[in-house]
A and B are shown apart, each in its own frame.
Chain A
Amino acid sequence: MSAPALELAGVCKSFGGLSVVHDVSFSVAQGERVALIGPNGAGKTTVFNLITGVYPVDAGRVTASDRRIDELPSRKRIEAGIARTFQNIRLVPELDVIDNVILGEQSLCKGIRPYLAPIRWLGDSGARAQARSVLAEIDLQRFDRQKAGGLPYGIRKQIEIARALMAGPSILLLDEPAAGLNAEEAAELSRVLLKLSDAGLTLLIIEHDMHFVDQLCDHTIVLNFGRKIAEGTLAEIRRDPLVREAYIGRSEH
């Protein structure tokens, strides 16, 4: 069997004495679709931030395809094949959609040459052609010339996915991709993600929408107060007493 696409071992993080991620270990196999769920404030986004290097880990290891990445600078981790989206959309609103997507390719631009081509004047070639085909993959090409800032929330969420895909990742981390989408849009998004998964992409998805998780993911990891409390298929998770307590305990106060 090949090495896991992503593996966390004993990862810890605290902020000013508050332990936010504690001794979290899990692994995501190549091509797998894994959901990371948990109540608000459980530490899910922080796990993404630790994987991508927004913060250094306090303890533990992160490996991607057998390569230790937790000691790499954040800028270099995308070169290990890890790309992500953000819970609160972080695009450049004053740039066209297509330019936002082109930024995703930044880690592939080495040396001076990629900066010399006047891509804006070259029409449909090079970086723009590629960005357009990535947009087409998720059915967004009609927005390519619009400013990212003016578009609806759900569209902007998906532009972030296009930007991440531009990096040619082997694993994609999505932070609540279905948030703000209606049922139809969410179903469409999960179809798109399944297609990408069939093409070999590994997915790790933070999501509150359980229907979405059910449609898409083959494995689920549950965090609560920074600890992993359960792991398995969604059906198994639903029966887990710890998980029930975590969700019910929170919603009752």
Chain B
Amino acid sequence: MTGYLEGILVVLCINAVLGYAAYLPLSIGQINLGIAGFMAIGAYTSAIVTNELGFPLILGLFSAIAVAAVAAALIAYPVLRTTGIYLAFATFALNEIVRSLFLNIELVGGAAGYPVAVYSGILFPALVAAVVTLLMVYSGATRAHIVLASVRRDEAVSDLFGVNIRLVQLIVFVVSAGLAAAGGSLYAHYFSFIEAQHFTVFLSITTILYVVVGGTRSVWGPIVGALIYTFLPELLRDSGEWRFVIFSALIIAFIAFRPEGIVAPWPSGPGSLVARWVGRSR
């Protein structure tokens, strides 16, 4: 395999794992802009325990997930008291706090960045992405899927039928953080160098965007989104400067005409997309 192709495939694996981190909050109607922050926690944790403590790769991954999950559980109480746009702001702030923390920790090189000694190759990220995907697809066939969809649609009714909304939100927040951290760990060990500047809110937003394009109502949505997000810019490489414009226009078109994403039932009959769009804006 050429280095170029291998690089793209690893990015695809990382994007898929990150995609699921964004998908979970979206599946209950939450926008969590702190994903890149938890990714940073995962990347740095994994780098530190392998560099400084001599942990093997797999323990680096588990440490990353554990530390991010505990951090998420600790911060969940104030963050999850907010809803809607305020939750987006709160997680935005969280992301920037985490990023500036790493920017100022001497042990990990501060702004100069932090080299990661243990290198993963492609097999490890591929395996992790496969396991994450399988687990998510499995969970999509369980009752959890029904509960998440119901919480997104109508919290009050879900509550009346016995769903513990706070608990669901907490679990989603913590699992999402753990997945983002797994993505961070994969990133650190493939690219062998991490710097706090990489983990901006912009990265969280981009992740959310491609998951929205893929679809937030099916567990396959993040995979399709990650595929598009990873390969489309490469396919458009010949269009030079324009490729990002084309890509952005595509995202806008999706959000306008197809907010449920690619993986969801498509309306049949010509013109029905437009008809539905017009119908929605009543």
By a beta-carbon cutoff of 8 Å, the part of chain A in contact with chain B is 52-54, 74-79, 83-84, 86, 90, 92-95, 99, 102-104, 106-109, 114-121, 127, 147, 163, 167
Contact B154–A92 (Cβ < 8 Å): yes
Contact B161–A107 (Cβ < 8 Å): yes
Contact A99–B160 (Cβ < 8 Å): no
Prevailing SS type, chain B contact patch: helix
Q: Which residues of A contact B132 (CB under 8 A)?
A: none
A-B pairs, top 5 by smallest CB distance, nearest first, are A107-B162, A118-B141, A120-B141, A106-B162, A92-B153
Q: How far is the CA of A103 from the CA of B154 in the complex (A)?
A: 12
Residue with the greatest number of chain B CB neighbours at <10 A, chosen from A84, A106, A108, A127:
A106
Q: How far is the CA of A77 from the CA of B159 in the complex (A)?
A: 10
Do A102 and B146 form a contact, CB below 8 Å, given A75-B162, A79-B162?
yes
Q: How far is the CA of A114 from the CA of B142 in the complex (A)?
A: 9
Q: Interface range on chain B: under 10, 10 to 19, 20 to 34, or 35 or more?
A: 20 to 34
Q: Which residues of B contact A75 (CB under 8 A)?
A: 159-160, 162-165
Q: Which residues of A contact B164 (CB under 8 A)?
A: 75
Contact B143–A109 (Cβ < 8 Å): yes
Contact B146–A95 (Cβ < 8 Å): yes
B158 at the interface (CB under 8 A from A): yes
Contact B142–A116 (Cβ < 8 Å): yes
B90 at the interface (CB under 8 A from A): no
Between-chain CB contacts (< 8 Å), 19 pairs: A54-B156, A75-B159, A75-B163, A78-B160, A90-B157, A92-B150, A94-B149, A94-B260, A94-B264, A95-B149, A95-B150, A99-B145, A104-B161, A107-B162, A108-B162, A116-B142, A117-B143, A120-B142, A147-B265
Q: How far is the CA of A52 from the CA of B153 in the complex (A)?
A: 19
Q: Which residues of A contact B217 (CB under 8 A)?
A: 94
- The residue of chain A having its C-beta at the shortest distance from the C-beta of B144 within the complex is A115
Q: How far is the CA of A114 from the CA of B144 in the complex (A)?
A: 9
Q: Which residues of B contact A78 (CB under 8 A)?
A: 160-162
Contact A118–B142 (Cβ < 8 Å): yes
Q: Which residues of B contact A121 (CB under 8 A)?
A: 141
Q: Which residues of A contact B163 (CB under 8 A)?
A: 75, 103, 106
- The residue of chain A having its C-beta at the shortest distance from the C-beta of B164 within the complex is A75
- The residue of chain B having its C-beta at the shortest distance from the C-beta of A79 within the complex is B162
Least CB distance, B147 to chain A, in whole angstroms: 7
Contact A74–B160 (Cβ < 8 Å): yes
For B85-121 the 0/1 string (1 means CB < 8 A from A) is 0000000000000000000000000000000000000
- The residue of chain A having its C-beta at the shortest distance from the C-beta of B138 within the complex is A118
Q: How far is the CA of A78 from the CA of B159 in the complex (A)?
A: 10
- The residue of chain A having its C-beta at the shortest distance from the C-beta of B140 within the complex is A120
Q: Which listed residue, A74, A93, A114, A163, touches B143 by the CB 8 Å rule?
A: A114
Q: Which residues of B contact A54 (CB under 8 A)?
A: 156, 160
- The residue of chain B having its C-beta at the shortest distance from the C-beta of A96 within the complex is B146
Residue with the greatest number of chain A CB neighbours at <10 A, chosen from B146, B149, B150:
B146
